[in-house]
Structure 1
Amino acid sequence: MAQAQTTHAATEAHGGAHEDVGFPPFKTETYGGQILWLTITFAALYVLLSKLVLPRLSGIIEHRRTTIASDLDEAAAMKSRAEEAGTAYEKALSEARARAQALAQETRAKVSAETEAKRKELEADLAKRLAEAEAVIATKKAEAMANVRGIAVETASAIVERLTGKAPPPQAVEAAIDQTQA
């Protein structure tokens, strides 16, 4: 029984034996106060948000909007400058190619002209040497041909002498050789 008295004493200490304890917002006796405090809290939060927070947020948003717009304008300007630089680069590159081709053509023509001049000089030198060599050959041939007649006369005389045992007269050998050449 001592235990029952302890439980009963603990229950009485908390406010009575069997009071109906419910969730306070659901109690109809306190609706008026709850609505009043809800209205006051809502109004205070509304004023706080509309006067302090929302102006700051709209200022931040507007600042971001202008920053983004200026960044986009700057990016467009940079893109334009980059395109102009690219166009200038392409123009300079094409001019450099044209100059390089002109220089190569000029060098080719110059080298070709020098080669042609050297070739003509060599051909002239070779023609001169050839003419000199032909003149020397003609001279040697004439000398040789002059000696051939004498050699032919001597050889024919030697052959006739060997065959017949007596030397023929030189005028007869020369007449016979002239007759064979004609």
Structure 2
Amino acid sequence: MFVTQAFAQDGETTGHLPPASDVAAAHGETIHVEGDHGGGFPPFEPEFFPSQILWLAITFGVFYWLLKTVIMPRIGGILENRRDRIALDLEAAERMRSDADEAQAAYEQELTAARNRAHTIATDAKDSAKADADKERKRLDAELNDKLDAAQARIAQVKTSALAEVDQIARDVTDTILRQVASIEASQDEIASAVSQADR
């Protein structure tokens, strides 16, 4: 808006410029003077609700798309891999336990057959060579004791190995779940203590 020369000269002589409404009136312009409006906080104004709802829907849609296409598949993949690994480890532990049971059954079968054989030898030779039969029986008992000790040591070793692997697997899985899913850092001692308490 320009101040005309007449109004400018008038303002210079009087020391002040005329109001803008007078200047606009002189030029045929209409000025709307906005007073102080007492409106509230814009997000709480009903006239802004549609745009806010639109942006809420857009934001929710983007978040849902990210959650569905990025976040949930990664979490699902991690859990699926862990579940497969746990299943494989449990299958291996079950196979080791089955091997231990088979070794124990074979040992019991051999022990039964050897005892039956020793009893038959002792019975057949009772009258003619009781001393020799006793000597042979003692030898067989010693052999069976050695086999028994060896078999028990093997069974204990297999069971200890299987249980140690299961404990280690449980600690590894717990550590991985705490780090990747729950974002919790825990020491190996704390994880081992928690796993041992869970086993009890």
Give the TM-score normalised by structure 2: 0.38
TM-score by length of 1: 0.41
The structure whose Rg is larger is 1
Higher helix share: 1
Q: Which structure is higher in RCO with an 8 Å CA cutoff and minimum separation 6?
A: 2
